[in-house]
Amino acid sequence: MAKEKFDIIQSTCIPIQIDNCNTDLIIPARYLASTTRDSKFFGDAFMHDLRFDAEGNPVADFVMNQPEYAEAPRKGVHEIIVGGQNWGSGSSREHAAWAIAGYGVRVVISSSFADIHRNNLLNCFVLPVIVSKEFQQELFDSIAANPQTEVKVDVPNQTVTNLATGNSEHFDINSYKKYCLLNAYDDIDFLLSNKDKIEAFEGKEEVTSESQENIETPATPLYVEASNEAPAEEPAEEVAPIEVKAKESEPFVPKKLLPIDRSLAKFFFLSLITLGIYGIVVMTKISAEINTVASRYDGRKTTNYLWVLLLWSWLTMGIVPIVWSHFLCNRIGNELQRRQIPYSFSAADFWLWNILGSFVGFLPLVYIHKLMSAMNHLNADYNQKG
């Protein structure tokens, strides 16, 4: 991917107001088999199945095909995407970041990002900027009123400004990644920029085990001097993330251990004995547990299952519980991927095994088994790491 120094980026924007825009939408899975790293190839694949129909014709209703936003990014034009909440969810594929960078986008603004995708963007020299939901909506409104609205992203000062209203917000970025963006460094470039210091350090006389006992350990980590473009006031330990020994942290101790031993057999027999009451209790607990495990990361909150069942189910003739289950399963699947737990689960399991499987009779039990197994994995990981 092209490496260009970041400073102040002022540009018109492409508004892609899709919440939970996952990496499969950003780049379809069939492109993942390609071995090329040609940026244009992946740029052409960006949002492909939303931009084009099955015959390859542009979809007129999609924002990137509308005349105001169809022009490919260039200096000052469409270098910024304003995306919906939870941008880059789903699979952790790096190809999604390649596609965004290959299309020419330099900044993606959203109120929340999937953690892995956010890091992938930074590694591909695309800046992910997190703003409040209110500021995000203000940007969408300003762009809808005037597609020529410009947004200014000041990387040195870490501010994003809506030039239509004059409102600004501060955004956070890892100091090491900020330093690399300001200097157009990837991780290898950063090391090479300090080649002389590294060689000088390695060239010192080898310290024997006896003499090493008499040497005091430095109180601060090794400081690698920044270039003239690095902020002068930046602390040494933040500019140079190279540290010989990491400080040990206290182990995480949850206030309450979440259950990790739910089984299909227990669920089936106790639900049968209690005329379904046990199943309602378990689903209600799962709705609370996913909030405990995931809310601080994805900023979402799953509605209590008992509330959905008692109120919304009969008011909507059973439609809301179906929608609720769809989003619950997707949320569980996203959290499994965020935590890099090798267990596959998503809303597809709900529709395949529970909805379509109900025509066979016993297949919904497969869905219950997968749901409880997924939560067992998540709860075990939470009990250990938080």
Q: Which of 120, 164, 124, 123 is nearest to 142 (CA)?
A: 164
pLDDT score for 142: 97
Residue 24 and residue 78 in contact, taking contact as beta carbons nearer than 8 Å: no
- Residue range 176-199: mean pLDDT, rounded: 89
pLDDT at 12 over 90: yes
What would the CATH number be for the domain defined by 8-173?
3.20.19.10
Using one digit for the tens of pLDDT, what is the confidence trace for 139-178? 999 999 999 999 999 999 999 999 999 999 999 999 999 9
What span, in angstroms and rounded, lies between the C-alpha atoms of 81 and 100? 9
Residue ranges of alpha helices (H) inside the chain are 23-26, 39-44, 48-51, 95-103, 115-123, 133-145, 175-183, 187-193, 195-202, 209-212, 236-239, 264-273, 277-298, 305-307, 313-315, 319-338, 347-349, 364-385
Q: What is the three-class DSSP state of 87?
A: strand
Give the residue with greater pLDDT, 362 vs 280.
280
What span, in angstroms and rounded, lies between the C-alpha atoms of 78 and 45? 17
Which range among 40-44, 107-111, 113-117, 187-191 shows the weakest confidence by mean pLDDT? 187-191
**226 contacts: CB under 8 Å, gap ≥ 6:** 179, 234, 239
247: tokens are 């400080």
pLDDT-derived band of residue 27, with 50, 70 and 90 as boundaries? very high
Residue 236 and residue 257 in contact, taking contact as beta carbons nearer than 8 Å: no
Using one digit for the tens of pLDDT, what is the confidence trace for 72-84? 999 999 999 999 9
Using one digit for the tens of pLDDT, what is the confidence trace for 307-328? 888 877 767 877 888 888 999 9
What span, in angstroms and rounded, lies between the C-alpha atoms of 313 and 333? 24
Residue 224 and residue 197 in contact, taking contact as beta carbons nearer than 8 Å: yes
Residue extent(s) of CATH 3.20.19.10 domains in the chain: 8-173
pLDDT at 252 over 60: no
pLDDT-derived band of residue 356, with 50, 70 and 90 as boundaries? confident
Radius of gyration for the chain, computed over Cα atoms and rounded to the nearest angstrom: 25
What span, in angstroms and rounded, lies between the C-alpha atoms of 361 and 118? 42
- Residue range 1-24: mean pLDDT, rounded: 91
pLDDT at 217 over 80: no
Q: What is the mean pLDDT of the chain?
A: 85
Which range among 13-22, 99-108, 260-269 shows the weakest confidence by mean pLDDT? 260-269
pLDDT-derived band of residue 1, with 50, 70 and 90 as boundaries? low
pLDDT at 357 over 80: no
Angstrom CA distances, 21 to 47, 50, 88, stand at 10, 11, 6
pLDDT at 36 over 70: yes
Using one digit for the tens of pLDDT, what is the confidence trace for 47-65? 999 999 988 899 999 999 9
- Residue range 273-302: mean pLDDT, rounded: 90
DSSP-assigned letter for residue 130: E
Residue 102 and residue 1 in contact, taking contact as beta carbons nearer than 8 Å: yes
pLDDT at 138 over 90: yes
pLDDT score for 361: 72
